[in-house]
Amino acid sequence: MFFKRLREDINFAKKSDPAARSKFGIWLTYSGVHALSWHRIANFEYRIHLKLLAEITSKFARFLTGIEIHPAAEIAGGVFIDHGTGVVIGETAVIEKNVIIYQCVTLGGTGKDTGRRRHPTVKEGCVISSGAKVLGGITIGEYSKIGAGSVVLKDIPPHATVVGVPGRVVRINGEKLPDNTECCLDPIVEEICHLRSRIDELEKLISKDGQ
């Protein structure tokens, strides 16, 4: 199983990174691949109740790669952590196959959640761009894209594009959402839309009084 997932990680890295020259080079030099390999070992140790050893393995991997993955996190084969420095993946996070994660991404908790689902579930085919923070026991739908620097605090539907702080859905299936739909997805934008609508009403009233 370890070597099968290692092959899947290397194959997906080769497919996803246009700068990759060879699979052998990826295996030797890619810190994301190294971090995932160490995580497979730490996760095995964690599952057989060698939790202290798993934590030590995880911290050693962080020292080598700059990537911190909790030993209990569930990560499928065929995940690519590109560059990777500063990536943090929490204890109850779940990452499915064909996911790309860039540097300084956090899949973390809000500090308020309890129980088995305190960290995100990232579905197949997602791309999480550099600096994005995905927090809480939420789900990122299949093939969604999280923009650089976004802060995502709620569930995201499949095939969506998310930008901003807080993160809001601006496209689904590559098509831009109508303005009124975008308002419904973001409380701050919703309030701005409400104010804009109220201003329009007041301007109409002033125009009628002037006539």
Closest CA to 92 of 147, 141, 134: 134
pTM: 0.78
Q: Is 84 left (phi over 0), alpha (psi -120 to 50) or beta?
A: left
Domain with CATH 2.160.10.10 in the chain: 2-175
Half-sphere exposure of 3 (CA within 13 A, CB side): 0
Tell me the C-alpha distance between 152 and 150, whole Å: 6
Tell me the C-alpha distance between 152 and 163, whole Å: 9
Query: CA angle 141-76-96, nearest 5°?
Result: 5
Band the pLDDT of 102: cuts 50, 70, 90: very high
* Gyration radius of the chain over CA positions: 21
Residue 24 has pLDDT above 70, yes or no: yes
Q: Look-up: residue for tokens 């996190």?
A: 73
- Give the CATH number of domain 2-175: 2.160.10.10
Q: First vs last Cα of the chain: how many Å apart?
A: 79
Q: In this predicted model, what pLDDT tens digit does every residue of 160-200 receive, in sequence order? A: 999 988 888 888 887 776 655 555 555 666 678 778 888 98
Q: How far is CA 148 from CA 67, 98, 161, 176, in A?
A: 18, 19, 11, 18
Q: 3-state secondary structure string, the chain?
A: CHHHHHHHHHHHHHHHCCCCCCHHHHHHHCHHHHHHHHHHHHHHHHHCCCHHHHHHHHHHHHHHHCCEECCCCEECCCCEECCCCCCEECCCCEECCCCEECCCCEEECCCCCCCCCCCCEECCCCEECCCCEEECCCEECCCCEECCCCEECCCECCCEEEECCCCEEEEECCEECCHHHHHHHCHHHHHHHHHHHHHHHHHHHHHHHHC
Q: In this predicted model, what pLDDT tens digit does every residue of 42-95 receive, in sequence order? A: 999 999 999 999 999 999 999 999 999 999 999 999 999 998 899 999 999 999
Q: In this predicted model, what pLDDT tens digit does every residue of 145-158 receive, in sequence order? A: 999 999 999 999 99
Tell me the C-alpha distance between 121 and 111, whole Å: 17
